[in-house]
C-alpha cells in the first residue's frame, strides 16, 4: 500500500498508509489523544476524524480545548440533534437545511402548525435525551441516484431538491446520528454524548421562505445557541440580556432621540435630542479633519447615470441605487439620474477641476456625504441599517510612494478618534487581492506591502481576509469592541487604482509627464446613523457628558425655589453647558426618575436650603447618592466636562 507523510505542528513527520484517518493518526500518537480527539485540520481544511487522508499533508489534531473547531462541531451537531428531536416528536415534519451561524445554528422545518414556546421546551428536552444516549455518529459516501431514491422513499422532497441543485455528478456525503440521517458535508463529532447537554439553548422561531424565494413554501426556522460548556452559554445569555437593555431603538424612545415610520422606510426622523448628538459628533469630526489637513467639499445628491456608468457603479451597483427619472424641458426621452450611493466619483470630479501637480499631493478631501442605498426591508434595523445615511467620507489622492505614509497617518488619526469616543480597543482586518481584479500583480504587490508595513508601523497587528479585497485594490477594516464585548466594523481604508483611471484623474509628475494618482478611500465612523446607534448601545444611553444631548436638569423641590432653579440654569448656559429647568409641580423623586430614564447625566435639585446657601444637590446618573456643591463649583466642574475631548488642554 502506498505511503504518505503527515507533518505535525511541531515540524515532525510520520509515514502512514494512504487512506489513514485522523482518528487512526491520533491513536498512533497516544491513547489519551485518541480519546480526546474531536477533529483535525488537514492542509488547512477542517477534517472529520473518520475521513480518509489520501496524500502528504500538514495535520493538526483537535480536542475540546481548541475552541474554534470545538464550537463549530458542537453547533453543527446540535443542528442535527435538534432535527432528529423534531422528527422523533412529530414524524410528519419535513427537514431542509441547518447551517452553523455565529454563536449557534438554525434549522428550517416544514410543519403545518407553528412551533410554540412550549414546543421549544419539548425539543430541548428530547435533544438532551439524545445526547445522553451517546449514539455513534457515522458517515458514508453515496452515489447521487442512491441518495435521491433514499429521500424519495422517506418522503423528504426538500432533500431531493437539494441534491438536484448540487452541480456535477460527485458522490454525496451522508451522516447518521444514531438511526437518524442527514445529507451533510460535515465534519461532525464522533457520538452525540460529546455535545454538552448544558451548553445549548433554543432561542426563537421565525418564518423563512424555502431557498429565500417568496414564491416558495414558508418554513419555520428554529434558532439555537451552543457553547462547549454551561459557563460559555451563561455568559452569552447574560450578554444578550444586557444587549436588550442597551437596544438603541428602546433607548431612542426613552431619550426621545429619533423615530422611523413606514412612509419612509429605512430613513430616520431625528428629534431635537438626537439631532443634537448628530451635530455634536459632526462638529467634532469636522474639527479633527480640519486639523488633519483635509479640505471639506460638498457634492450633489442627484447625479446623471453617465457618471455612474463611467465609474463602473451602474454596472456593478445599480440594483442598490435609487433611480430618478426627469422629463427635462419636456424632451421625448427622460433623463435618468440616481441618488448617490457613495461619494467617490463626485470627489474625483472636484479633483479634476484644474491641473494638479505632484506638489499638490497628497490631497485629502472630506465630505459629510448624504448617501442613499436600497436595502431589502428585512435587512433594515433601526438606525444601524438604513437606506438614507451620511458618511464621514474622505478620499486621499496621492502617489504610489505615498500610500504607506498616508496609511500610517490615517491609522493614527482613526485611533485617536476612537479613543476620544470611548473605544480603547480595535482590531485591523486586511483584505487582500481577489481572483477577479484590475491592475498588474506588481501594483498589487506594492499596495499590499504598503498597507501591511503601515499597519505594523502604526503599532497594530492585522488579521488576513484572504481574497476579500475589492476588485480595484486591497483594504483595511477597523473593528472596534464595545462595552459588552461586541465587535463592530466601522472604519475602512481602501487603495484604489481603478477609479482614477476610469474617471481620467491625473497629475503632472516631476518628469513633466501626466501620471495617475492613487485614490485612498477612507471612512472613520462610517455611517453617522450607525455609529450613533453603536455609541448609544455601548454606553447604554449614558453618553459622555460632552456628547449628551441633555446635560443638566435643574429640578426645584418646592415652588419657592423655582426662581433660583432658573438662575442656576442661566449660569450653566452662560458657561456653555446644556441645561434646562424642571419647575413642574411634581415631587422631586418623580422628576429624578423621569430624567434618569431619559439618561440625563446630571440632575441638580434645589430647595429652600440650597436657595439660602447658593448651593445645589447634585446627583450623577446611575448614582443613588447626592452631593451638596456650591453653585460656582458646579458651574466650573461641568464647564470642564462639557468641553469636547479635542478642545481640552
Which residue ranges make up the annotated binding site for Zn(2+)?
A: 344, 395, 521
The residue among 326, 365, 318, 299 whose CA lies nearest residue 520 is 365
Judge whether 221 counts as a catalytic residue: no
Judge whether 236 counts as a catalytic residue: no
CB atoms within 10 A of CB 290: 12
Give the active site residue among 344, 346, 398, 490.
344
Matching residue, cell 480603547: 424
CA-only gyration radius of the chain, Å: 30
Element (H, E) at 250: helix 248-254
Give the active site residue among 50, 220, 391, 446.
391
Judge whether 391 counts as a catalytic residue: yes
Q: Enter the C-alpha cell of residue 422.
A: 470611548
Judge whether 373 counts as a catalytic residue: yes
Q: Enter the C-alpha cell of residue 465.
A: 481576509
Write the DSSP string, 19-63: TEEHHHHHHHH-HHHHHH--EEEETTEEE-TTSEE-S-EEEEEE-
Element (H, E) at 237: helix 230-246
Give the active site residue among 521, 530, 591, 595.
521
Helix spans in 482-540 (H): 498-502, 528-538
Q: Which residues, listed in sequence order, are joined to residue 394 by a DSSP beta bridge?
A: 366, 522
CA atoms of 250 and 528, how far apart (whole Å):
19
Judge whether 441 counts as a catalytic residue: no
Judge whether 344 counts as a catalytic residue: yes
Q: How far is CA 433 from CA 316, 447, 468, 476, in A?
A: 18, 10, 7, 12
Question: Could you give the dihedral angle defined by the CA atoms of residues 384, 385, 390 and 392, in that order, rounded to the nearest 10 degrees?
Answer: 60
Q: How far is CA 112 from CA 12, 82, 92, 93, 219, in A?
A: 57, 18, 10, 8, 9
Judge whether 80 counts as a catalytic residue: no
* Cα end-to-end distance, the chain, whole Å: 77
The residue among 345, 446, 456 whose CA lies nearest residue 408 is 456
On whether the CB atoms of residues 342 and 496 are closer than 8 A, the answer is no
Matching residue, cell 515540524: 11
Q: Enter the C-alpha cell of residue 375.
A: 436595502
Which residues are designated catalytic? 344, 373, 391, 393, 395, 475, 521
Amino acid at each position: 500500500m502506498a505511503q504518505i507523510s503527515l507533518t505535525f505542528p511541531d515540524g515532525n513527520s510520520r509515514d502512514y498508509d494512504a487512506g489513514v484517518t485522523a482518528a487512526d493518526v491520533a491513536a498512533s500518537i497516544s491513547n489519551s489523544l485518541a480519546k480526546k480527539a474531536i477533529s483535525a485540520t488537514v492542509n488547512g481544511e477542517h477534517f472529520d476524524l473518520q475521513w480518509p487522508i489520501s496524500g502528504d499533508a500538514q495535520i493538526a489534531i483537535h480536542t475540546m480545548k481548541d475552541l474554534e473547531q470545538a464550537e463549530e462541531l458542537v453547533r453543527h451537531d446540535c443542528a442535527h440533534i435538534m432535527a432528529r428531536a423534531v422528527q422523533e416528536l412529530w414524524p410528519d415534519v419535513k427537514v431542509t437545511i441547518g447551517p452553523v451561524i455565529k454563536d449557534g445554528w438554525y434549522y428550517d422545518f416544514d410543519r403545518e402548525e407553528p412551533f410554540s414556546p412550549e414546543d421549544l421546551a419539548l425539543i430541548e428536552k428530547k435533544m438532551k435525551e439524545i445526547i445522553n444516549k451517546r449514539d455513534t455518529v457515522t458517515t458514508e459516501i453515496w452515489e447521487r441516484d442512491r441518495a435521491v431514491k433514499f429521500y424519495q422513499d422517506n418522503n423528504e422532497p426538500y432533500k431531493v431538491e437539494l441534491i438536484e441543485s448540487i452541480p456535477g455528478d460527485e458522490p454525496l456525503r451522508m451522516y447518521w446520528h444514531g438511526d437518524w440521517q442527514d445529507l451533510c458535508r460535515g465534519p461532525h463529532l464522533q457520538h452525540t454524548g460529546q455535545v454538552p447537554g448544558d451548553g445549548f439553548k433554543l432561542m426563537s422561531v421565525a418564518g423563512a421562505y424555502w431557498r429565500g424565494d417568496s414564491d416558495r413554501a414558508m418554513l419555520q426556522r428554529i434558532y439555537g445557541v451552543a457553547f462547549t460548556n454551561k459557563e460559555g452559554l451563561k455568559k452569552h445569555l447574560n450578554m444578550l440580556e444586557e444587549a436588550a437593555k442597551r437596544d438603541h431603538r428602546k433607548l431612542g424612545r426613552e431619550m426621545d432621540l429619533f423615530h422611523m415610520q413606514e412612509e419612509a422606510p429605512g430613513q430616520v426622523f431625528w428629534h431635537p435630542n438626537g439631532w443634537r448628538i448628530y451635530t455634536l459628533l459632526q462638529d467634532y469630526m469636522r474639527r479633527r479633519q480640519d486639523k488633519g489637513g483635509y479640505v471639506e467639499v460638498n457634492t450633489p445628491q442627484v447625479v446623471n447615470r453617465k457618471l455612474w456608468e463611467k465609474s463602473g457603479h451602474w454596472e456593478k451597483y445599480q440594483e442598490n441605487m435609487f433611480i430618478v427619472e426627469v422629463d427635462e424641458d419636456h424632451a421625448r426621452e427622460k433623463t435618468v439620474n440616481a441618488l448617490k450611493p457613495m461619494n467617490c466619483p463626485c470627489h474625483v470630479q472636484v479633483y479634476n477641476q484644474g491641473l494638479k501637480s505632484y506638489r499638490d499631493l497628497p490631497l485629502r478631501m472630506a465630505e459629510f456625504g448624504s448617501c442613499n442605498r436600497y436595502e431589502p426591508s428585512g435587512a433594515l434595523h433601526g438606525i444601524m441599517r438604513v437606506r438614507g445615511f451620511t458618511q464621514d467620507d474622505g478620499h486621499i489622492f496621492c502617489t504610489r510612494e505615498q500610500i504607506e505614509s498616508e496609511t500610517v497617518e490615517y491609522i493614527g488619526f482613526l485611533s485617536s478618534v476612537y479613543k476620544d469616543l470611548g473605544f480603547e480597543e480595535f482590531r485591523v482586518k486586511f483584505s487582500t487581492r481577489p481572483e477577479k481584479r484590475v491592475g498588474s500583480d506588481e501594483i498589487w504587490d506594492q499596495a499590499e506591502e504598503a498597507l501591511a508595513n503601515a499597519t505594523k508601523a502604526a503599532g497594530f497587528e492585522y488579521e488576513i481576509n484572504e481574497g476579500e479585497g475589492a476588485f480595484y485594490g486591497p483594504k483595511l477594516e477597523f473593528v472596534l469592541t464595545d462595552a459588552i464585548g461586541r465587535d463592530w466594523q466601522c472604519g475602512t481604508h481602501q487603495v484604489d487604482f481603478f477609479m482614477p483611471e476610469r474617471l481620467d484623474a491625473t497629475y503632472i509628475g516631476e518628469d513633466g509627464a501626466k501620471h495617475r494618482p492613487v485614490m485612498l478611500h477612507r471612512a472613520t465612523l462610517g455611517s453617522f446613523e450607525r455609529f450613533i446607534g453603536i455609541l448609544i448601545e455601548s454606553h447604554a444611553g449614558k453618553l459622555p457628558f460632552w456628547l449628551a444631548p441633555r446635560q443638566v436638569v435643574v429640578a426645584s423641590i418646592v415652588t419657592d425655589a423655582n426662581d433660583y432653579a432658573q438662575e442656576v440654569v442661566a449660569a450653566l448656559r452662560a458657561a456653555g453647558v446644556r441645561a434646562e429647568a424642571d419647575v413642574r409641580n411634581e415631587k422631586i423623586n418623580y422628576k429624578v426618575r423621569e430624567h434618569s430614564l431619559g439618561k440625563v447625566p446630571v440632575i441638580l435639585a434645589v430647595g429652600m436650603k440650597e436657595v439660602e446657601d447658593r448651593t445645589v444637590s447634585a446627583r450623577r446618573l446611575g448614582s443613588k447618592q447626592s452631593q451638596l456643591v456650591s453653585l460656582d463649583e458646579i458651574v466650573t466642574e461641568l464647564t470642564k466636562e462639557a468641553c469636547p475631548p479635542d478642545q481640552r488642554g
